[in-house]
Each structure stands twice: as C-alpha cells, then as structure tokens.
Amino acid sequence: MADAAPSNDTARLEAFSDGVFAIAITLLVLEVRVPGGNGTLAHKLADAWPGYIGYAISFVTIGIMWANHHSVFRLIARTTHGLIVGNLLLLLTVAFLPFPTTVLAEHLRHGGADQRTAAVFYSGTFILIAIGFQVLWQVASRGNRLILPGREAAADQISRSYRWGVPSYVVSTLLALWKPPAGLALVGAMALFWTIPRGRAE
C-alpha cells in the first residue's frame, strides 16, 4: 500500500475520493421509484414524495460532506499510510448512505414502528459517518503532524467543530427513537451547521 509520499500525492487521493462522492450522490436517483399498484400516474408520482425528500436531503448532505472533505484536505500537506486507511473508512460510511436513504424513503409515509426504525437507522448512519470524519481528522491533525505549516489555527477551528459531530448524531438518533420527525429535523439542522465555512483562520 502507498507509503508516505510527497504532497502532490494528495491529488490522487482527493481525485479518488471525489469520484466516490460524485458516484454516491448520483446513485441516489436510482432509489426514487414510482410506486406500483393501481391508480393514475399523477397520483403515483405525488405518492412518491418521500422518495423526492430522501433524494434531496441525502444529495445535499453528501454534497456538504464533499465540500467539507475538500476543506480538510486543503490543510493537509501529505499522505501517509494511515491517512489512506482513515480516508477509506470514511468513504466506507459515506458510500453506504444511499441504502438508509432508500429505507427511509420507503417507510417515511407509513407511521408506526417501521417509520421509527427507518428514522433511527438513517440517523444512526450519521454517527458512523461522524466517527469516520473524526478518525480521518485525528490521523491528520494529531500534533499537527500532516498539517500544512502556517495552517495550524485553521486546523484548530476544524477540530473544535468536529467535536460536535458524534454527540449531535447520538442525540438525533435518540430523538428519532422517541419522535422520528424530531430526529430527522436535527439531522437536517446539522447539515446546515456543516455548511458554515471553517478552516480559514489566518
């Protein structure tokens, strides 16, 4: 496996990650489906609304994660063996998102236990993603080991915001267990939280 390499090596790691993000985001549409059964097409297309919502939320969320990944890598000077493994684990969690999105879209419409399960499963996936980001960032930033000289303050800013990741999604998952819409609303609110520009302290 690739070992410590000069800074331009980051380029290929980023290109590969961009590919995975771009594919995961575009695959989401394959999970939007016209419900079967009788009735007019107009009625069925209207009935497919949870699919549209699931598509839009997951698309925007993966897009925001891509932009964050991008911000993080602008502070990283070089790749190491550990960074490649950490990045791979993050991508493992991100590329999984289309599955809980489908599960959510199929069960959002119905109330009851299955709706609750779907919301918990969806929100719980974000705990894993937050852990993935945290691990990648720890590998890169511990002792400013891989941080570009002069960008330490920017790195600190990112470290502070990442502290909110795992606890917030644990809360949203517990919320979803109690009241599914409330849990999903917190997941949406967190997506907005991640859009705040960070990592540009001078």
Query: For the window 165-194, what string marks contact with a copy of itself as x by the rule CB under 8 A?
Result: -----------------------------x
Which amino acid does the sequence have at 28?
Answer: L
The H helix count followed by the E strand count for the chain is 9, 0
Segment near a copy of itself (CB under 8 A); pick from 99-107, 140-148, 166-174, 177-185: 99-107
Among 37, 38, 149, 196, binds a copy of itself (CB under 8 A): 196
Which amino acid does the sequence have at 187?
Answer: V
Query: What are the angstrom distances between the C-alpha of 47 and each of 43, 78, 109, 137?
Result: 6, 49, 9, 41
145 interacts with a copy of itself by CB under 8 A? no
146 interacts with a copy of itself by CB under 8 A? no
137 interacts with a copy of itself by CB under 8 A? no
- Buried b / exposed e over 186-198, threshold 16 CB at 10 Å, is bbeebbeebeeeb
15 interacts with a copy of itself by CB under 8 A? yes
Query: For the window 110-129, what string marks contact with a copy of itself as x by the rule CB under 8 A?
Result: ---xx--xx--x--------
Size of the residue set binding a copy of itself (CB under 8 A) = 65
Q: Which is nearer to a copy of itself, 21 or 162 (CB)?
A: 21
Which position has the token pair 């609750």?
A: 116
Asked whether the CA dihedral 45, 184, 72, 93 is positive or negative, the reply is negative
